[in-house]
Amino acid sequence: MKFPHLRSGGLAGMFFLLGLLPGQCAAADSAKTARQVVDAMLEHEFTAEKSTRMFLYVSEERSERTGGHLWTERVAETQAGKIRMLIAEDGQPLTGERAAAERARLNNIAQHPEAFEKTAAAVKNDEKHAREMLSMLPKAFVLDGMREDGGFLRIEFRPDPAYVPQSLEERVIHGMTGSMLIDEQALRLHRIDGRLPEDVSIGYGLVATIHAGSNFSTTRSCEYEDEWKTVALDADVTGRVIFLKSIAKKQHAIHRNFEPLPDTISVPQAVAELLK
């Protein structure tokens, strides 16, 4: 996503990627305030981000990318990026020419991994934006309302009026209110929900307006041994950008059935796993 250029759909992608950071289930220390808990959680998240573990999993997604259909995909993680194989649409397995075309596409990726790596670099840039949003939590938001909630610590967040956003991207992030659930034992982010209570206008609305009610949520859990993975993503973002081009970004995705892959798996090897 290149939000400074206000590409349609990039805003939601920034939020989704909160759920893409890898993690490990580390032991937690006690913390007394919401700020201390969030600081400790961020330390765990950014340390765990260095993990090189790769996984194979199943993704079910309905979004603009899928044309509004429910796509079931097998996804293989590599150091270069995630490789997807469509296996079913709206609950019906791919067959015939469409299944053959999908296999041909994957074989082309295996034969030209450098082209795939170039495309995947854009996603890594999105992940950088996700990290930046997480790092904004303690400095740009008021953190309060900490309480027990089903084995998690629930912490509310709202914009700190004293914070001055440093970019267009931060303007939108800073407009969010919401809550997060943090695992008490591991001090890991389990869920984060955000919503814009009012329109956020950039350039007095001439450049862009993100509409009130736009929202996102990401849910993560410890899925395999000590590794935290994203298990659910939801977003509904509406607005308009320069020249009155509309934004309408909706996504619902579920990730399941995580299986470990070799940490050093190559793009061709990942394709071979998907095609099994």
pLDDT of residue 13 exceeding 80: no
Residue 182 CB-density burial (10 A; 0-12 exposed, 13-18 middle, 19+ buried): buried
pLDDT band of residue 17 (cuts 50, 70, 90) is very low
Instruction: Note the pTM of the prediction, 2 decimals.
Output: 0.82
What is the tens place of the pLDDT at every residue in 178-214? 999 999 999 999 999 999 999 988 776 667 788 999 9
Q: What is the pLDDT of residue 134?
A: 81
The answer to whether 210 touches 199, Cβ cutoff 8 Å, is: yes
For residues 184 and 208, give the distance between their C-alpha atoms in angstroms, rounded to a whole number.
39
The per-residue pLDDT for 257 is 97
Output 270 or 166, whichever has higher pLDDT.
270
Number of domains in the chain: 1
Q: Report in angstroms the alpha-carbon separations of 138 from 39, 40, 135, 159, 160.
A: 7, 11, 7, 10, 10
**pLDDT single digits (tens) 215-234:** 999 999 999 888 999 999 99
- Stretch 251-259: mean pLDDT: 96
Instruction: Give me the mean pLDDT over the 13-40 stretch.
Output: 58
Largest interatomic CA distance in the chain: 59
Task: Name the average pLDDT for the chain.
Answer: 84
So what's the pLDDT on residue 29?
41
pLDDT of residue 52: 83
Is residue 7 over pLDDT 50? no
pLDDT computed for residue 149 by the predictor = 95
Q: 188: which 2 tokens? A: 């890991």
pLDDT attached to residue 127: 60
What was the pLDDT predicted at 28? Answer: 41
Q: Answer for the pair 195, 164: CB distance below 8 angstroms, yes or no.
A: no
pLDDT tens, residue by residue, 101-141: 999 999 999 999 999 988 887 666 556 666 777 888 899 99
Full residue range of the structural domain in which residue 265 is found: 3-275
Say if residue 199 is exposed, middle or buried (CB neighbours under 10 Å; 0-12, 13-18, 19+).
middle
Closest CA to 56 of 259, 262, 268: 259
pLDDT exceeds 90 at position 75: yes
